[in-house]
Structure formats: C-alpha cells, structure tokens
A = this chain, B = another copy of it.
C-alpha cells in the first residue's frame, strides 16, 4: 500500500530518474563527492534540481535519532522583550543548522506542560524556556531522563540546576532605585504583576526592598501586586499610593513594560501628570517609551544578546559540554528620559 505523501519526491525517485542507486544519491547529499564519478554526480545534481527534491528531515532524523529541532517555549509572545530574545535565538539556531519551534504559553502552566510533551515527541535536541514556573517536574524529566539540554531564559528556577541566561536583576534594580533616590524622590513604589512564582519579579521586588532600606532608611513598603487581566484593581492601588504619599515627592518603578503601560493609562485616566505628580521608571525598553510625554526612563536589557547567549549555551551542551550549570546575568543600562527629573527643593 503506497502511503507516500502526494507529490513528494523521495531519494528513490531521484535515483530512478537519474538511473543510479539511492546510495549514490545519498552520497551526493552527504557531499561525499570523492566516492562519485564526475558523470554520476552531474546527473544526480541535475535530477535533484529538476525534480526539486528536498531530503526528508523525518527520515534522516529517524536514522540518526536527531531532529535538528530546538524548542523555544515563551510565556508571552506579544511582549517585545520576548520577541527580541526569539530573534537572537533564531539567528543563532539557523546559523547552526537547527530550526526553532516557538511555542507561546500565554503564561499558562498547563499549556506549557502540553507544549513540552509535544516538543518531546518531536525529539527536540534542546529546549530554551521562559517558564511560568509551573512545569518543574517536566523540565527535570526532559533534562535528566531524556538527557536533552535545557536552558532557562529570563526566569530562574533555583531548585532545578539548569543553565540560566537573564538579567542581573539585583544590579538593575539597585541602580534604578538608587538613581530615583538621588533624584530626590521621597516615596518610591514598586508595581508588578503577582510576584511569587516568577523569579524576575521576585528578584526585582527583593532588591527593591533591600535597596530602599539601605539607601533611604525607610520602613515604608510601597509594593503593589496588580492584576492586568481580567478585572483590574490598578486604579484603587494607584490612588492608595498617591493619597498615602500626599505632599511627598514620589516615583513609581514598574516590573516590566506591560505594567508600565497599564500605569501610564491609569495615571492619564485619573488626570495625574508625569512627572509632576509622580515620576516613572520601568523595566524593559520598548521603542515607544521615547515618545510618551517627555520620554519614560527605563532599565534596558540586552534582549537580543540574551537570546543569542541562551542559544550559544544550548549549543555547547548539545555538543557535549558537561560542566556545571551556569547562570549568566547581563548588566542592565539605565536609559534616562524625562519621566524622572531632579526634584527641585
């Protein structure tokens, strides 16, 4: 029973057309030209082009136990930070003969686990994951049982002992908070989506508290965990902060650009002015922040580079590097714009 996919040319078809054996065609594909006569080689070359033959990756993969596939699981593909990392990973992926399967989990742990299973079925040779934090067992299993290298990107999972590429959140937060204090802000609030489970938020939160205590010697903790979806209480939380700090100079630090945008929308809606009523600074540096008011100051990450490095690390592991898992943390850069001016006394 012929099950062959309609229209697909196989190595056997090429061999028949060229009047040689499929072994010879395979030799041609493997570029082992020294094992081929000039004539045969030409004939095969011509036939392959004419028939538009493309080697079947699945058959090759079956033979070698290799898929040439890398899995990349991201929490939110609509986030510019994510897409920049994808570009970095993809560029390197292709330069090394791999293809990238990008999977978007929408921050949903169940989706994440499902995707991991699918990727396992596709016999990916490596996995880069920006995890929700809800699939530790699955990740452990991929790494230890399947023996497939896993690189965490952006978000850490301390208990997992995996290569981790991301931002030096402590340095980043510390420099941001220190800067805000130096600019003269008396009350500084930190706004983030739910802090626990996601390491980036947690690290930024911890460093925020710590730095504030060290630099400002305050015991007030203006930390707000907000919900972006579905119903948001941001409005109330914002009011709470602004009322409690009435008369003081104040600034808001946001954990990422999604929160940043939300805060700006709310401030606008409630008629507060940036930076007169409240200064503003946020993690991530999407291009649009330059055109909001007199510009929003941000904490820029080398996003593309993070993607590249994650893939580099993965490739090293694929190529047999067995050294201890490492964490690479990139330094952030403060990009100062109009939203955090020096406070006039």
Q: A residues touching B (Cβ–Cβ < 8 Å)?
A: 3-8, 52, 54-59, 61-67, 77-78, 80, 83-84, 86-87, 90, 94, 99-104, 106, 114, 117-118, 120-123, 141, 145-148, 261, 264-265, 268, 286-288, 290-292
Contact = CB atoms under 8 A, between A and B. Distances in A.
Contact of A83 (B83, B147, B148): B83
A111 to B, nearest CB: 8
In this complex, the member of A5, A67, A122, A291 whose beta carbon has the largest number of chain B beta carbons within 10 angstroms is A291
16 contacts: A5-B65, A5-B123, A8-B65, A8-B123, A52-B145, A54-B121, A57-B123, A59-B62, A78-B87, A87-B106, A99-B118, A99-B122, A100-B101, A261-B287, A268-B290, A288-B292
B67 A58 contact: yes
A333 B7 CA distance: 42
A60 to B, nearest CB: 8
Contacts of A114: 94
Contacts of A264: 291
B287 A122 contact: no
The CB with the most chain B CB atoms within 10 A, among A77, A120, A288, is that of A288
A58 B99 contact: no
A86 to B, nearest CB: 6
Copies of the chain in the assembly: 2
A42 to B, nearest CB: 22
- Please provide the 8 A-B residue pairs with the shortest distance between their CB atoms, ordered closest to farther: A5-B65, A288-B288, A7-B147, A58-B58, A58-B61, A102-B102, A54-B120, A264-B291
Nearest to A7: B147
A52 B58 CA distance: 22
A31 B101 CA distance: 28
Contact of A3 (B7, B64, B80, B292): B64
A121 B55 contact: yes
Given A62-B58, A102-B102, A290-B265, A78 B67 contact: no
A286 B102 CA distance: 22
B3 A63 contact: yes
B99 A146 contact: no
A122 B58 contact: yes
Contacts of A90: 103-104
A52 B291 contact: no
A292 B99 CA distance: 38
A102 B52 CA distance: 23
A32 B70 CA distance: 32
Contact of A86 (B56, B77, B94, B287): B77
Contacts of A83: 77-78, 83
